[in-house]
Amino acid sequence: MPRLPVVVLISGGGTNLQAIIDAAQKDLPVEIKAVISNKPGAYGLERARKADIAVATLDHRQFPDRESFDQALAELIDSYQPRLVLLAGFMRILTPGFVRRYHGRMLNIHPSLLPDFQGLHTHQRALEAEVEEHGASIHFVTEELDGGPVILQARVPVLSGDDAQTLAARVLEKEHIIYPLAVRWFAQGRLSLNDRDQVVLDGKIRSTPVQLEQVAID
């Protein structure tokens, strides 16, 4: 199977990037063409370098507004000709025009069971809401922040004595499983977004996200 060309956008440490790199070095049929960060010192860039992946930095602070940054970012992404763009801890709110440009071929991972806890500080907010379950979601990116159609989720219990750090660590373990899995489905041609912004998996419209416990993982 030919490898799907992918570009990954990061802002920080890149642990989800590492999970995808590791999977690609085994049997995930993708080729990471480049890792791009809006922060020059992001450790994820070092992860990419260690894997001999091209890296680029586009510092958003060097641009007067979101539109000009997003235009430059799109031109940089397109220079690598990816068929899929992955947001992996990319801490930028994207403009509508940018999102439309990659409609149906841009995924994001969010550390909550969407639509719960959109935005930041999800683990602390989950604890304050006293929910019994928390988790992570993979979704297609649309113009609504963290509001795109959800593909896949993984759940973890919220334990007595949890703080934001312990809960985050438990969720992160699941993130490293579900992101490569969703990317695999896309690369295999099993996953798409239709013109009504509905998730299509194996030829069927999904009205609800797939739950990790429903999936047989080799």
Query: Do 84 and 182 form a contact (C-beta atoms < 8 A)?
Result: no
Inter-axis angle of helices 15-24 and 164-187, nearest 10: 40
Separation CA 18–CA 128 (nearest Å): 30
Give yes or no: 110 in active site: yes
Residue whose structure tokens are 């990116």: 141
Q: How far is CA 128 from CA 17, 113, 155, 170, in A?
A: 29, 15, 18, 17
Instruction: Enumerate residues 6+ apart whose C-beta is below 8 A from 170.
Output: 156
Catalytic residue among 60, 103, 110, 134: 110
Q: Any idea what DSSP says for residue 62?
A: G
Instruction: Enumerate residues 6+ apart whose C-beta is below 8 A from 50.
Output: none
Question: Is the omega angle on the peptide bond into residue 2 within 30 degrees of 0, that is, cis?
Answer: no
Tell me the catalytic residues.
110
